[in-house]
Amino acid sequence: MKKIRRIGILTAGGDCPGLNAVIRAVAKTAINDYDIDVVGFLDGYQGMVENKFINITSDVVSGILTRGGTILGTNNRIDPFRVPMLENGKTIYRDLSDQVLNNIDKLGLDVLVSIGGDGTLTVSGKMIARGVNIISIPKTIDNDLFGTDLTFGFDSAMATATEAIDKIHTTAQSHHRAMIVEVMGRTAGWLALGSGIAGGGDITLIPEIPFDIEYVCEAIKERTYAGKYFSILVVGEGAKPKGGDVVVQRTVAGSAEATRLGGVGNVIAEMIEDKIQVETRVTVLGHLVRGGIPTPTDRLLATRYGVEAVKLVARREFGKMVALKGQDIISVPIEDVAGKTRIIPLDSSWINTAKSIGMCLGDKM
């Protein structure tokens, strides 16, 4: 059996803390344990289409463990099977996957390690069907990837959101206001609920539980009657009222994620002020939760994922995604997880914990 001599690696989709830790772990393990060369594509799949890459050596990854972002750059707009191009003033889409396959052959790559979220996994699945050997590593601050208990990037984002909630408390107490902190998460509430519990949120609204504004207002009034003249609301960007729909900030044509959520915090603030005349302010954390240095938990998880990914390469167990199950690093077939979303189950211990400590989730307790 031919020895694996060279692997490629890319980071695609949104950035998050821990990406550099994974790149470092993949490179060090490949070089130190298996004498495998590593090539890093620049700006996600765009680098594969345009054949833009760097050779990743031990020197290149030295000192990047604690750095946020990704030294390779990333891109959430380019899918090799549907690349936007401007022709005669109009945007058309072309399948450039053959070009990607040619670039893989030119570089002599035996395997590609793709690091990303659901969009990256979906593209990886298509490339596997074209005969490319792929190992994937799950990354997202939303923690919504199917097949793994935890994605790296989530813990760091939750720490940032929790710190913001901590700081909002003093302003809320001083001005006797209701303060809304809106966080990312798309259609999953892991980030909102996790930071809400850790940050002492009084009300947390998540996509999995459509909220009734009457219950939200009642929870605020009950706090006032008890002498607590402020309330902290943590709201996931995908939260929606019963019988209603999500709030869309804008639609971006041609993007892999065309519908951009955002603005639900302002909608809820208007509802509260209209119904119970409590002064309400909104803080939208937005991309702030993507930045900064990774937490020790994310550095450890990212490193474990990177090491295991290269071990799968060495064992030729292609078409797999590394994953966390309990405390163990395992692998699952990419075809079993691509295109699926892991939301919070209604019987989750996180939801039960929130209710037990008296947190309002926008429904009847």
Q: Would you please indicate which residues are annotated as catalytic (active-site) residues?
A: 142
By the 8 A CB rule, do 183 and 235 touch? yes
CA angle in degrees (0–180, nearest 5) for 209-261-151? 70
Residue 228, token pair as written in the block: 């607590």
Residue from 150, 133, 80, 127 nearest 320 by CA: 133
Q: Which residues make Cβ contacts (< 8 Å) with residue 102, sequence separation at least 6?
A: none
Please report, as a single letter, which amino acid is at residue 127. Answer: M
Residue 188, token pair as written in the block: 């999953």
By the 8 A CB rule, do 268 and 215 touch? no
Q: Which residues make Cβ contacts (< 8 Å) with residue 288, sequence separation at least 6?
A: 160, 164
What is d(CA 288, CA 290) in angstroms, rounded to the nearest whole number? 5
Q: Give the position of tokens 């909630």.
A: 165
What is d(CA 58, CA 78) in angstroms, rounded to the nearest whole number? 29
In this structure, the dihedral spanned by the alpha carbons of residues 203, 207, 209 and 211, taken in order and rounded to 10 degrees, is 60
Q: Is the dihedral of CA 239, 279, 168, 348 positive or negative?
A: negative
Task: At 207, give phi and psi (nearest 5°).
Answer: -60, -30
Q: Which residues make Cβ contacts (< 8 Å) with residue 50, sequence separation at least 6?
A: none
The helix (run of H) or strand (run of E) holding residue 174 is: helix 154-175
Q: How far is CA 312 from the centre of its chain?
A: 23
What is d(CA 365, CA 359) in angstroms, rounded to the nearest whole number? 9
